[in-house]
Chain A
Amino acid sequence: MPPAISVTDLSKTYASGFQALTGINLEVKAGEIFALLGPNGAGKTTLISVICGLVNPTSGVVLVDGHDNIRDYRAARARIGLVPQELTNEAFETVWNSVSFSRGLFGKAPDPAHIERVLRSLALWEKRNNRLITLSGGMKRRVLIAKALSHEPTILFLDEPTAGVDVELRREMWEVVRGLRESGVTIILTTHYIEEAEEMADRIGVIQRGEIILVENKQTLMQSLGRKQLTLELLEPLVSLPNALSDYPLTLSDDGQALVYRYDTQQEHTGITGMLEELRKAGIQFKDLHTEQSSLEDIFVNLVRENP
């Protein structure tokens, strides 16, 4: 089975002369949830737009399920559902008509039962006869999702699907997305809610200044780049670290009240036992201790900071 999306040496320079994408190489496997992370202006939307045929690439090749997205655009596009970042729609249409229109546009025979399922799954069924202009922002976004799902795509792009959607609905949408993945749909999403990527994604790609700086399995990423830290609250403040402890990756807080010990979760030997032993020998007592594990957010922030 070919990858759902395969991007080779893709570059995009806008007419303004601004280079938004530089030599992107990326493969998204069929059936996975791929989260594309990156700060504002990194090029996420541009990359998605090129793949979906909304922006002309300057160079490079995009294959969708093995079909060139320019030469064989019908086959490529028929597979893709796109939920754009911007809220855009035909203000005066009803929800039902707008979603049915999308299905027709993609060349699918009318299937009211399918449209009904989609609308129900997105909690839009009650609103089916409302004009789009009368919907709230979160509802409009869900209409865009419904439009993308109306033609039963096998690859779904979600460009910040949950921006402006309340917490409860966000959870419901995650359920919808998981359900889609169960049914074999490949999902590529961008988000600024890292918890979303952490919760949903199988693999994560980080893009910065138009370059992919990392693509990794989420689990591996969180393990390999994830760090834990142990904080010991001291009974008596220390002025400096005792010499016996200098071999350990320990730092003393500025006020001397706490010791922070950083370690990799992957390591066989974390060195905690030895460190505690040395503390005891040195007569350093502590009143409390706690550990913290870095989240995907910390990893992301560090990555972006390390690649200026």
Chain B
Amino acid sequence: MNLRGMAAIYRSEMARTRRTLLQSIVSPVLSTSLYFVVFGSAIGSRITEVAGISYGAFIVPGLIMLMLLTQSVSNASFGIFFPRFSGSIYELLSAPVSYMEIVMGYVGAAASKSILLGLIILGTAGLFVPLQIAHPFWMLLFLVLTAFTFSLLGFIIGIWAEGFDRLQLVPLLVITPLTFLGGTFYSIDMLPPFWQGVTLLNPVVYLVSGFRWSFYGVGDVSLAASLAVVVAFLAVSLAVVSWIFRSGYRLKP
């Protein structure tokens, strides 16, 4: 194991966050606060309760998930895309590090950022609405698993993308709609039965549901289903990454 190599990647990625602190931390916090003002206060004052929880508190887990998914994907994809783009990836590929070490360095850093961000947003939310966390351990588990899984997805996108436009495409066209349609701002039993069925095909529903369960003890789907979907997603992403490095896809001509 080249632990030092892995740590070097991790540290340099975290240093990049510090250099771009404003966009990495401040802007998601700001936009979450805006969500609270608009959805939580303005709309929430008309919708009193969902599943026995005040609307403002109800949307907290969904909002955190929204930020977690989009930030994990964008951080991790940019992290690996930039060295590819600038050519400095030659160093990574010629160094005595295994692909798992490279992945752990990049994905670990992106996930750390997202987790930190999730906790900051949680703290921010606490300023707006009273929070309760029924199952802190599960809350953290979901936070960490989701951050890693979607950072892995971002890493894959960063390797696949051939230009900045494509880099933006997936988060914009896939992640954001899936999250908004994933029960972030509503409970899926508020939908007509047909759309409930469709929604169950959306993996984000399971993430949000599991996460919300860890807060309030209620979810749209069972905890086991939520966990299974996260783990399955993680396994698929890992398989893709390992294929990428074995075949050299987009990395080695």
Contact = CB atoms under 8 A, between A and B. Distances in A.
B83 A105 contact: no
Interface of B: 2-5, 7-9, 11-12, 15-16, 19, 82-83, 86-88, 90-98, 248, 252-253
B86 A104 contact: no
Given A77-B96, A105-B97, 4 more contacts: A54-B93, A104-B4, A104-B11, A106-B2
Contacts of B9: 105
Contact of B248 (A56, A75, A102, A106): A56
Contacts of B11: 101, 104
A78 B86 CA distance: 23
B95 A105 contact: yes
B252 A55 contact: yes
Interface of A: 14-15, 52-56, 73-78, 80, 82, 84, 86, 88-93, 97, 101-109, 147
Contacts of A103: 8
Nearest to A78: B96
A88 B88 CA distance: 5
Secondary structure class of chain B's binding surface, majority of residues: helix
Given A73-B96, A97-B12, A88 B248 contact: no
Contacts of A97: 12, 15
Contacts, number: 80
A15 B7 CA distance: 34
Nearest to B248: A56
B5 A104 contact: yes
B95 A56 contact: no
Contacts of B5: 104-107
A7 B179 CA distance: 52
Contacts of A107: 2-5, 96-97
Contact of A55 (B19, B83, B86, B253): B253
A104 B8 contact: yes
Contact of A82 (B2, B15, B94, B253): B94
A108 B7 CA distance: 11
Contacts of B94: 52-54, 77, 80, 82
Contacts of B82: 90
Contact of B91 (A56, A76, A105, A109): A105
A106 B96 contact: yes
Contact of A56 (B15, B87, B97, B252): B252
Contact of A88 (B12, B87, B95): B87
B88 A89 contact: yes
A92 B90 contact: no
Contacts of B7: 104
B186 to A, nearest CB: 42
Contacts of B87: 84, 86, 88
Nearest to B247: A56
Contacts of A56: 248, 252-253
Contacts of A75: 96
A15 B252 CA distance: 11
